[in-house]
Amino acid sequence: MQKRAKKVKKNTACGDSVLGPVRMTRRNKFTAVELFAGAGGLSIGLERAGIHVVIANEIMPDFAATLAANHHDTNVINDDIHKIDFRAELKKLGLKNVDVLSGGPPCQGFSTIGSKNRQDPRNSLFYEYLRAVAETNPKYTIFENVSGFKRMYGGFAYETLVRELGELGYDTKCQILNAADYGAPQIQYRTIVLGWKRGLVPLEFPKPTNGKKEGLKPYLTLMEAIGDLPQIGAGQSSDKYATPPQNDYQKRMRGAQKELLEHNAANYGAKMQEILRIIPEGGSISDLPMRLRPKSAYGNTYARLLPNEPSPTITRNFGTPSSSRCVHPYQPRALSTREGARLQGFPDDYKFIGGKQSKNLQIGNAVPPILGEAIASVIVSALRDGVGGTC
């Protein structure tokens, strides 16, 4: 059983661990169940849009603990999704269904673990998502995955999803969305499949607010997102902001937070520190002298981020210089944990549980909250035009 300082209740029906206060609020009229919830990036977006996440399922203990630490009114179930009876969980809350079910099954879940083939996926996480749809009976569904999801297994995965949702009574739309188009300081493409019960208000994808087209706000750049954070060196940290908020994004991320959290850099050996000192602005491994170049590496490793553009996609390895472009634009280090969280769109008061590697993994695996909010907002509009929320 997952042990936490906060209230932990044993789910006797399923044997799973429920973290955090087991209560729900009515601040948000609409309700959701979130699967594969991670550290809560999509949950933030749903809540901001006006949808209360009543149940969130996450199997990784640190991820679930982070959810519980920040989403106090969500029943966080830290267990294998195969073991969860979602009808029983909703019944405990006095609910028969929810307005929204969201989730993004891990890619390898569609086939046998670790291989991309078309073996029968009936026991996979992909089908657990569909089982949860059947058990929670939501009005609307969100399925999110990697940008190439529609092409995976020759289109078999996507076609199966649409067919199975159709058999459950849902129409669907699919589109690849870029988080930067909605105000995130990061280029991150995600495949989003929206579903709605036949007879309800159909969904349209949110219109971009940022971009290079006329009438849109310019993309938010990397330094616009992190420019108020202080300079630190390898192995150093700081709990004080360098400047007051310099723009609306920084104001939103900081909120009422006074103490800077998680702004820490990994330590490096002498050779790595030399590499990081001499990489020029915008440079990469190709700018290093031969004596410092690794024998084999991709061209975008040991590469500085570009200050006046959105960040490339944040990954779990954003604190590792040898990973894809993640070295600070000016400082001799990779991104700090807080900088990674800023670029994903986690507010500065969001508490991550676990060691540095676990925290970076939680951040790198998350759906950017700003993208989640944009998607959730169109669902809220449809719900308001329809019959209202659950009760």
pLDDT digits (tens, 9 = 90+) for 274-299: 999 999 999 998 899 999 887 766 77
Q: How many domains, the chain?
A: 1
Tokens 């209740």 belong to 9
For residues 28 and 200, which has the higher predicted lDDT (pLDDT)?
Answer: 200
The model's pTM: 0.89
The CA distance from 82 to 322, in Å, is 37
Whether residue 331 is contained in a domain is answered as no
Residue 106 pLDDT exceeds 80: no
CATH of the domain at 115: 3.40.50.150
Residue 171, strand partner residues:
196
Is 318 in contact with 308 (CB distance < 8 Å)? no
pLDDT at 69: 97
- List active site positions: 107
DSSP state of 197: E
pLDDT at 108: 57
Is 18 in contact with 67 (CB distance < 8 Å)? no
Amino acid in position 38: G
Confidence of residue 14 (pLDDT cuts 50, 70, 90): very low
Report the range of poorest mean pLDDT among 20-34, 120-134, 212-226: 20-34
Confidence of residue 381 (pLDDT cuts 50, 70, 90): very high
DSSP state of 210: B
Whether residue 117 is contained in a domain is answered as yes
Q: Which residues of 121-135 are buried (b: 16+ CB within 10 A; e: fewer)?
A: beebbbbbbbbbbeb
Q: In the predicted model, what is the mean pLDDT of residues 97-115?
A: 71
* Cβ neighbours of residue 269 closer than 8 Å, sequence gap 6 or more: none
- Domain assignment of residue 373, given as a range: 8-212+367-385
Residue 26 pLDDT exceeds 90: no
Whether residue 274 is contained in a domain is answered as no
Q: Which of 55, 75, 97 is nearest to 10 (CA)?
A: 75
Whether residue 288 is contained in a domain is answered as no
The CA distance from 297 to 192, in Å, is 32
Amino acid in position 324: S
Residue 274 phi, psi (nearest 5)? -65, -45
C-beta neighbour count of 139 within 10 angstroms = 26
The CA distance from 197 to 136, in Å, is 13
Residue 113 pLDDT exceeds 70: no
Amino acid in position 125: L
Q: In the predicted model, what is the mean pLDDT of residues 124-151?
A: 94
Confidence of residue 243 (pLDDT cuts 50, 70, 90): very high
Instruction: Say how far residue 151 (Cα) sits from the centre of its chain.
Output: 22
